[in-house]
Structure 1
Amino acid sequence: MGETKIKWGISPIGWRNDDIPEIGAENTLQHLLSDIVVAGFQGTEIGGFFPEANILKKELQLRDLSIAGKWFSSYLIRDGLATVAASFKRQCQILQDLGASVIVVSEQTYSLQTLEQNVFDKKPEFTDEEWKTVAEGLNQLGEIAAAHDLHLVYHHHLGTGIQTGGEIDRLMDSTDPAYVHLLFDTGHLYVSDGDYLHVLNKHHKRIKHVHFKDARRQVVEDCRNKGQSFLKSFLNGMFTVPGDGCIDFKQVYDALLEHQYEGWIIIEAEQDPAIAHPLEYALIARKYINDNLVHTRN
C-alpha cells in the first residue's frame, strides 16, 4: 500500500483512548489488531492498554503487523531530566525489542490535554529558562533514543507549551537536529494555526514521523466558540480520519513525496468508538488513501 519508503499504519486511539480509558474498553487487543489487518494497514503505535512485549510480539507476528512507536509524556520542567530519563530508557528498550522506529515525545508540564479547561483560549507558555530546560533535556533524551536505534520525534500538541508553528520553529532552532526530530501532525496544526503546509515545508528535514489526522471545520468552530476542553472537543467529533474532514491530504502527501519523506504515516483520529465505528472509519481512511493518494501514482 503506497510508496516503498512509506509505511502506512493506524493508531489504536480510534478503538480505545488512553486519556479516557473507559471509552472503547470493550475493544480487545486482538479485536484492534485484526481490524487493522482487515483495513489493510501495516502496523500501529502502542496504546496504553497494550500487554507486555512478549505477548504483543506474538499477536503482531500472527497478523504480520509492525509497531511504529509509542507516546511518551515528558515532564522535564516539572520533574527534571534524571527522573524523566529513567522511565524514558525503559520505554526505549521496549520499543527497540519490538523493532519500532520512533518514540513520540510531548512535554506535558502545564498541559491542558486532560483538563476541563478551554483548549482554544489560554494555552501554556514556557519561560525562556523553561525553554532551555526542555531543549537541553530533549537533546539528552534524543541521544538515549539513538542508542536504542530510535528517533525521538517531538509531537506538537494542542493545549501544550509547544503547539503553534512559531513554537515548533523555536524548538527546532534550539535543539540538535541529530537527536531531536519532528512528528508532523496535520490535525493539531490545522486546529492550532489553520495552516499546516508551512511547518511541513520549513522543517521537512527534521520530520521522521507523520500523523494524518483530519478535522471537521464546523465542529472545530463550534468547540472554539463554546470554549470546550480538548477531551470534550474530540468527543464532540472535532477530529476524524482523512477523507471525512476538511484537510487536503493530496497537498500534504505530494509535499512529503517532494521532500523524499521516508517512514510511517499513521492515520489517527480521536473519536468516541461508540459513535464512530473504528473499523468503519479505518476503511474510510483506507479507501481515501487508495483512491486519492497512492493508486493515483501507480
Structure 2
Amino acid sequence: MKTIKGPAIFLAQFYGDKPPFNTIDGICQWASSLGYKGVQIPTWDIRYFDLEKVANDTVFANEYKAKINSYGLEITELSTHLQGQLIAVNPAYDKLFDGFAPDSCKNNPSERYKWAVQQLKWAAKASQNLGLNAHATFSGSLLWQMVYPWPQRPAGLVDEGFTELAKRWTPILNEFDNCGVDLCYEIHAGEDLHDGISYELFLDKVNQHPRACLLYDPSHFVLQCLDYVTYIDHYHERIKACHIKDAEFNPNGKQGVYGGYQNWVDRAGRFRSLGDGQVDFKKVFSKLAHYDFPGWAVLEWECCYKNQEDGAREGVEFIKNHIIRVTDKAFDDFAGVQQDEEFNKKVLGI
C-alpha cells in the first residue's frame, strides 16, 4: 500500500496583487511556512509561470523546479483549467469564456481554440520537463446547456457532441502520452465531463485512451447528490490527481440542486472550507489508501464564508490529520506462523 503524499495546496485562489501573493517566491514561502509540502501551479498567469518557456527550455524548467524546491516544496501538478475550458465552448457561452483567452483571440472562437490547443500541448511538455506524472484540467463543454433540456434534446445530439469533444481532445491526449503524463479531467458541473456516466461516454469516444484520467474532487459530487465514496470504487484506476475540498447540500422547500439563481452564500449547495461541510473525509482517505492512490492530497480552497488564509491555515492541519500512513504489517501478525506446506496439510486433514 501507498501513503498519500501531502499536504499540498492549489495556488489559483490565492494569487493576488499584494505580498506575499503577488510573486511565486512570496506565495511559495507563505505556503511552506504553513506546513505545506507541495503546490499545484496554475499556468495561465505569466507572473507566476511561463508555460511556453518551461515547455521549450529544459534549463529554465530545471531552474524553476529548483526554485520551488528551495522552499521545501514539490510541484504536485500543473493546471490548465482555464485553457482546457476553451477546448470546447458552446456559442451560448462565447462572450463569458472570452475572458479566459488573451486579447489576440477574443471574439474569434477558432483562434481561441487553436490557442487553447497549443497551451495544452505546452502543458504536456512542461510537465515532462518538470518530472511530473499528472496534469489537471477541465474538459470544456458543448452540451452543458442541454443537461436538463426543454425542449427535448434532438435525437443523436449527445452522441454528436461527445464525438466532437473526443475529436478535439484526442491529439492532446496523444501529446500527453508522448510525454508520459496523465491528463486528469476535473469532473465538474458546467463541463461535459460532470459525472461518471458522462466520463464513460467520453472514454468510449477516445477509445479508452490510457491518458484520459481523472482529478477526484468530492465537493462537486455532494452538490450533485452523487455517492462520492462509491465513485472511487468505480474509477480508482483512472484517478491520478485529487482536490481536497469540502461542500454542503441543504435543500429546503424553496430550492434544491439548481440553487434558484442565487449567489453562493444563498444556495442550497455551497462549497465550504475543510471540516465545515458534509464530506466524510475519513471515508475518502480510507478509500484512496485502499486503492493505492499514487498522488497528492491537494487543498483547493473555496468557501462562501471563511477567509482564504484561514482556510489554508486550517486546511494544512486537516489534511495532515486525515492522511493515513499505511501499515507494512497485519494487525494479527504476532499470532501468525511461518508457512509450512506439510503443517497446512495436517491442519486440513489431507
**TM-score over 0.5 (shorter chain):** yes
Matched letter for residue 212 of structure 2:
V
Match of 1:21 in 2: none
Q: Is it true that 1:25 corresponds to 2:34 in the alignment?
A: no
How far has the Cα of 1:186 moved from its partner? 0.9
Q: 2:191 aligns with which of 153, 160, 166?
A: 160
Q: Distance in 2 between matches of 1:33 and 1:11?
A: 11
TM (norm. structure 1) is 0.77
CA distance 1:296–1:200, change in 2 (3 Å)? closer
How big is the alpha-carbon RMSD for the aligned residues of Structure 1 and Structure 2?
3.6
Q: How does 1:172-191 map to 2 (within 5 A)?
A: 172-175=203-206, 176-191=208-223
Match of 1:12 in 2: 11
Question: What is the CA distance between 1:87 and its match in structure 2?
Answer: 2.9
CA deviation vs aligned residue, 1:214-257 (integer Å, no higher than 9, x gap) = 013349978944323xxx42798932333221100111111111
The alpha-carbon deviation at position 271 of structure 1 amounts to: 4.2
Correspondence 1:51 to 2:49 = yes
> TM-score under structure 2 normalisation?
0.67
Query: What SS class does the counterpart of residue 193 from structure 1 fall into?
Result: coil
Whether 1:213 and 2:224 are equivalent positions in the alignment is no
Aligned equivalents of 2:222 and 2:256: distance in 1?
A: 15
- How far apart, CA to CA, are the structure 1 residues paired with 2:223 and 2:185? 18
Query: Sequence identity, in percent?
Result: 19
- The answer for unaligned runs of 5 or more in structure 1 is 17-23
Maintained 8 Å contact 1:185/1:211: yes
Structure 2 counterpart of 1:260: 292
Change (3 A) 1:132 1:15: same
Q: Count how many residue pairs are aligned between Structure 1 and Structure 2.
A: 278
Larger relative contact order (CA 8 Å, sep ≥ 6)? 1
Is the contact between residue 10 and residue 299 of structure 2 (CA under 8 Å) also seen in structure 1?
Answer: yes
Per the alignment, do residues 13 and 289 of structure 1 end up closer, same or farther by CA in structure 2, a change over 3 Å counting? Answer: same
Q: Are positions 1:70 and 2:79 aligned together?
A: yes
8 Å CA contact 2:272–2:302 kept in 1: the answer is yes
CA shift, 1:132, in A, is 1.1
Query: How far apart are the structure 1 equivalents of 2:188 and 2:224?
Result: 9
Deviation by residue 1:181-217 (Cα, 9 ceiling, x = unmatched): 1111111122123421232111111111111110133
Q: State the shift of 1:74 in Å.
A: 4.7
- Provide closer, same or farther for how the CA distance between residues 90 and 295 of structure 1 changes in structure 2, counting only shifts above 3 A: closer
Matched AA of 2:78: G
- Which has the higher Rg, Structure 1 or Structure 2? 2
Question: 1:107/1:296 Cα in 2 relative to 1: closer, same or farther (>3 Å)?
Answer: closer
Q: Secondary structure at the match of 1:73?
A: helix
Kept in 2: contact 1:13–1:269 (CA 8 A): no
- Is there any run of 5+ residues in structure 2 with no aligned partner, and where? 55-59, 90-109, 329-350
Deviations 1:254-289 (A, max 9, x none): 1111111111221112247xx644342222122222
Aligned partner of 1:151 in structure 2 is 182
Equivalence map 1:103-142=2 (5 Å): 103-110=135-142, 127-142=158-173
Amino acid at match of 2:49: P
